[in-house]
A and B are shown apart, each in its own frame.
Chain A
């Protein structure tokens, strides 16, 4: 069975603060993919990143960075110098095994205020 846990339900920060969104996953498969999606108030989920289980390199894309640690089964997401436009619900998701579908976490709602 696969499972994704996002323990933080809601986070509120002031603009320019750094914020880290946690994601812990469970799977028995050795080959799997992890994803982050952003869902702004407009509704559509937007793909942010994909990482496979054999690539533990951290990644940075502008103000976004991701820390993948297999030892702790975590794939955390950090936004540096947050902006109001970052306000959204962020979903971590896992794809593994023979199932051709994503297992989503419950999401973390990020509110960035001025």
Chain B
């Protein structure tokens, strides 16, 4: 099983809502990532979890709150988002975080629209 599964596939939320994005992998990977991708742009790294601990936060606003309940699950909690936060949110995993050679396995993303 080489899948990274993300739910929901689409999400529309108001600026006062609280919602969560979910990501799951069963490949035994020890690192999980959140990326944000605006239309016609490359993915931008947001967070990295390594062995269930947050290892990288790319200066992401606090309205985005990541959580890694266990080695297979990664959540992204959203609160008080702005319309400019509308984007495709991609989850990825890799066998290990450390190492230049790590290849990433991506989910198909959650398309988020903030109204």
Chain A interface, number of residues (Cβ within 8 angstroms):
23
Question: Are the C-beta atoms of A100 and B99 separated by less than 8 Å?
Answer: yes
Q: A91-B42, A105-B42, A107-B42 are in contact. Are A44 and B90 (CB under 8 A)?
A: yes
User: Is A46 engaged at the interface, CB distance under 8 Å to the other chain?
Assistant: yes
* B 44-65 contacts with A by CB, 8 A: 45, 48, 55-56
Question: Are the C-beta atoms of A95 and B90 separated by less than 8 Å?
Answer: no
Question: Are the C-beta atoms of A95 and B100 separated by less than 8 Å?
Answer: yes
Minimal beta-carbon separation of A41 from chain B (angstroms):
10
User: Is B103 engaged at the interface, CB distance under 8 Å to the other chain?
Assistant: yes
* A 29-64 contacts with B by CB, 8 A: 31-33, 35, 37, 42-47, 50, 52
Minimal beta-carbon separation of B40 from chain A (angstroms):
8
Minimal beta-carbon separation of B33 from chain A (angstroms):
8
Chain B interface, number of residues (Cβ within 8 angstroms):
26
Q: A104-B43, A107-B42 are in contact. Are A47 and B103 (CB under 8 A)?
A: yes
Indicate with 1 or 0, residue by residue over B14-42, a CB within 8 angstroms of chain A CB atoms: 00000000000000000000000000111
User: Is A28 engaged at the interface, CB distance under 8 Å to the other chain?
Assistant: no
Question: Are the C-beta atoms of A50 and B101 separated by less than 8 Å?
Answer: yes
Q: A43-B88, A44-B90, A45-B106 are in contact. Are A96 and B100 (CB under 8 A)?
A: yes
Question: Are the C-beta atoms of B103 and A35 separated by less than 8 Å?
Answer: yes
Which residues of A sit under 8 angstroms from B41, Cβ to Cβ? 106-107
Q: Please name 13 further chain A to chain B contacts, defined as beta carbons within 8 Å, in addition to the given A45-B43, A45-B92, sorted by A numbering.
A: A43-B109, A44-B108, A45-B90, A46-B106, A47-B104, A52-B101, A95-B100, A95-B102, A100-B48, A100-B97, A101-B48, A101-B56, A102-B104
Q: What are 18 A-B pairs with beta-carbon distances under 8 A?
A: A32-B100, A37-B106, A42-B108, A43-B88, A44-B4, A44-B90, A44-B107, A44-B109, A45-B43, A45-B90, A52-B100, A95-B101, A100-B98, A100-B100, A101-B45, A101-B48, A102-B104, A107-B42
Residues on A facing B (Cβ under 8 Å): 31-33, 35, 37, 42-47, 50, 52, 91, 95-96, 100-102, 104-107
